[in-house]
Chains A and B, each alone.
Chain A
């Protein structure tokens, strides 16, 4: 056997004086880190299997466990860092593509953290959301550009289909397959209660969830998994997935091991076959082809559903968005490169695409320069972490926000970034029935509702501080933002001034 060059990233530290050998850690760990040694009557651990998901830590009744980063090091080297060396060992041994999950952990700039929000002082009053109405209702969809009246001169109020959101935040696409039945159910229940939408992702819609259709966005991706007329008509809107921020330029991956009975049926593919979506849609090789799919879907649903086109934030995103806006799409969703994934090649996740803040600012500006901003709504995602990020995104020009990683964290995800293993101890990114049942959808949805309710309170407080009592007056209101520690090029692209200016 070859020498294993890899030293474990973590150490499992067990406080022996606290451990009561209840063996909870052993039962909870799907990675099989913990073992009971009958001879010594003590717990042991194999830290090489540990992914640092904190399941054992959270469930240990005596708080005897903690996971720490190993202090084992390579000889210091600013260029050939330990992780770089280890990746080479891994590939030299396996000959494979490095797989990763969730958004990139690399230290790219997070522009949300380099923008500051305004507040009113003296010249106009801040508004108190506890005492005055503060509105966050948002409509997504194309806005008409000409007023029409009937013979009596009354306004004709028909519009193309619109999505009405009580709060400007939706749950973005995560397929049934990449996440569990209970995770999907949690999202569906929460979306319904919050007056917003969740998104099926490319995995089709489980028959149990058709009843949540009015709060569901159904996705059509390049693999066309689970797409049929009933599915298209089940949701409130249809999303064409052209790309995903975590892996621009490639399709989805779901290993056959995750394709059990239910998922096979929902996706309409054979049991245990790998579900690998093609990189492009093979009926869309150009923008005019996209238009055809947009209208095919509209025809299939009798023009009753808005069509969203979701793209990854890539270098030429503003021109792409301009093309989509003219394709008949009602909504453009842009996914930034820090966005999450259930499985992606690590090199792509960590190196392809651009940050959502820059993509959003540039797209919003381009659509306005072309006078077509009102023809489409703009939804952005890709690592929106708090209500402050939401405010900043809307002030840059977004109509609404997609969140997914934040939602999973609310469900208990600890961001160990090993979703692709299928052994999620929190019952989220797994299809193992024993693990799935750890996530209670009623409690899960309650946490999601709590999270967005809390964010909405904070959004209202910050809006009130700016003297704004309706979310539409924040949209694209870039004077409400100032940059901090940004260079001229960054400020120019974001369309904001530096703090103090």
Chain B
């Protein structure tokens, strides 16, 4: 800032809380469907966002490249692109690269260069790093985001992709032509930030590897969580809640090997008074998790939908300070901030319920056993 001209704060320079709308759909049979349902669902909640950020995550959208990491990257300028591609060449085999197809939309402006790469780590580099593939890729992504100015990797999973922009989510969906993609699950987010970020990276979903998070809320534990997770190699460059939540889930689920239920009882830990009432084995486990990962407890309002390969998990803060509704129809599970956003795409669900605060709703493909011992069972409580 030169002190004379007005400065517009960018994401990462200031902390920006935001209100939001979220929605998610999964077909547990694995049947793939286009992104249009997610667009329709979120459009009903238009007033929950303010045109300053919208985005989608689709899973199962790149079956022809399912063994490769799909990197979606924003570039602000060709120099950033050149540096990043140099870095990528050094660390990965580039299987395919192209611009992400977009369609001009009058409500979506100032777009950066948006590129997609299908990559796999260079075997020699990977071996010498002594890391597994995920950790190797994650570190490379964090490094690009932290160190290459004007370059931002916003999606880095396998057989999944994030699409986001500044704008209303339904316009963002049209811009990225999400009708053309087919996935077995979709999440979507409309953002209501409290200032004008003007930067595309700040939109949701926030993603690392195949984890993606859409989030509504403002967490009061942010700096406690941030300062803790940064000890383990993560760099919270955006100063947003969603970023820190994603990193914590990555740390707990991928790196520590906790099940998603266990992850939930860390980040939305039951109250001590609730833990006291459990039988000894459960009490010990819950006490252990809460104590060991005390600094990963999230307080303040949040509702999140976590997307991962093979499933979705929805979770509310333990006081349920944000609305969230879930519904089931046949093989499909729907989750949204508002009931209307479900009924617009599925007017007659088999059942519809309001998940209890702190209790995860986990919906997985019938074929996946990932995400915890209890698999795809849905909690019957709160029906």
Contacts and interface: CB of A to CB of B under 8 A. Distances in A.
A472 B289 contact: no
A370 to B, nearest CB: 8
A105 interface: no
Interface stretch (B59-67, B280-288, B304-312, B337-345): B280-288
> Looking at B218, B232, B256, which has the most chain A CB atoms within 10 Å of its CB?
B218
B258 interface: yes
Nearest to B218: A124
Interface string B121-138: 000000000000000000
Nearest to A501: B14
B218 A368 contact: no
A476 B262 CA distance: 24
Contacts of A154: 281, 285
Interface in B283-304: 284-285, 287-289, 291-295, 297-301
B300 A124 contact: yes
Contacts of B297: 470, 472-473
Contacts of B18: 123
B220 A144 contact: no
B291 A143 contact: yes
Contact of A374 (B223, B231, B262): B231
Contacts of B319: 127, 132, 469
A482 to B, nearest CB: 12
A1 interface: no
A341 to B, nearest CB: 33
Interface in B7-32: 15, 17-19
Contacts of B285: 154-155, 157
A472 B287 contact: no
Contacts of B262: 155
Contacts of B219: 124
A383 B15 CA distance: 33
B299 A468 contact: yes
A139 B220 contact: no
Given A147-B256, A469-B299, A473-B299, A135 B271 contact: yes
B96 interface: no
Interface in A96-133: 120, 123-125, 127, 132-133
Given A468-B300, A470-B299, A139 B222 contact: no
A405 interface: no
A398 B269 CA distance: 21
Given A123-B194, A123-B218, A159-B288, A475 B230 contact: no
Contacts of B292: 143-144, 159
B373 interface: yes
Contacts of B218: 123-124, 467
Contacts of A153: 373
A473 B230 contact: no
Contacts of B293: 143
Contacts of B301: 124-125, 467
Contacts of A124: 17, 217-220, 300-301, 321
Contact of A475 (B287, B289, B294, B373): B294
A231 B221 CA distance: 40
A95 interface: no
A466 B294 contact: no
B381 interface: no
Nearest to A126: B220
> Looking at B194, B218, B223, B272, which has the most chain A CB atoms within 10 Å of its CB?
B223
Q: Size class of A's contact patch?
A: 35 or more
Given A123-B194, A125-B321, A472 B294 contact: yes
A468 B222 CA distance: 10
Interface in B249-270: 256-258, 262, 269
B271 A477 contact: no
A136 to B, nearest CB: 10
B7 to A, nearest CB: 14
Contacts of A467: 218, 220, 299-301
A358 to B, nearest CB: 17
B224 interface: yes
Contacts of B299: 467-470, 473
Nearest to B224: A477
A480 B226 CA distance: 13
A120 B299 CA distance: 12
A493 to B, nearest CB: 15
B109 interface: no
A217 B259 CA distance: 37
Contacts of B281: 154
B17 A476 contact: no
A34 interface: no
Nearest to A370: B231
A162 B294 CA distance: 13
A400 B291 CA distance: 14
Contact of B223 (A133, A139, A371, A480): A480
A474 interface: yes
Contacts of B221: 468, 473-474, 477
Given A155-B289, A468-B300, A368 B227 contact: yes
A149 B302 CA distance: 30
Nearest to A399: B294
B231 A368 contact: yes
Given A125-B301, A479-B222, A143 B294 contact: yes
B199 interface: no
B228 interface: yes
A144 B272 CA distance: 20
Contacts of A144: 292
B98 interface: no
Interface in A449-501: 466-470, 472-480
Contacts of B257: 147
B224 A475 contact: yes
Interface string B227-259: 110111000000000000000000000001110
B377 interface: no
A267 interface: no
A468 B220 contact: yes
B250 to A, nearest CB: 15
> Looking at A155, A374, A468, A473, which has the most chain B CB atoms within 10 Å of its CB?
A473
A81 to B, nearest CB: 43
A373 interface: yes
A123 B19 contact: yes
Nearest to A364: B227
A155 B294 CA distance: 17
B227 to A, nearest CB: 5
Interface in A143-184: 143-144, 146-147, 153-155, 157, 159, 162
Nearest to B271: A133
Nearest to A139: B291
A137 interface: yes
B291 A159 contact: yes
A157 B273 contact: no
A451 B331 CA distance: 58
B274 to A, nearest CB: 9
Given A123-B18, A124-B219, A157-B287, 10 more contacts: A120-B300, A124-B301, A157-B284, A371-B231, A371-B232, A373-B228, A467-B301, A473-B298, A474-B224, A480-B223
17 contacts: A125-B321, A139-B291, A139-B294, A147-B257, A159-B291, A368-B228, A371-B231, A467-B300, A470-B299, A472-B294, A473-B225, A473-B299, A475-B224, A476-B223, A476-B227, A478-B223, A478-B227
Please provide the 3 A-B residue pairs with the shortest distance between their CB atoms, ordered closest to farther: A473-B221, A467-B220, A479-B223
Interface of B: 15, 17-19, 194, 217-225, 227-228, 230-232, 256-258, 262, 269, 271-273, 281, 284-285, 287-289, 291-295, 297-301, 319, 321, 373
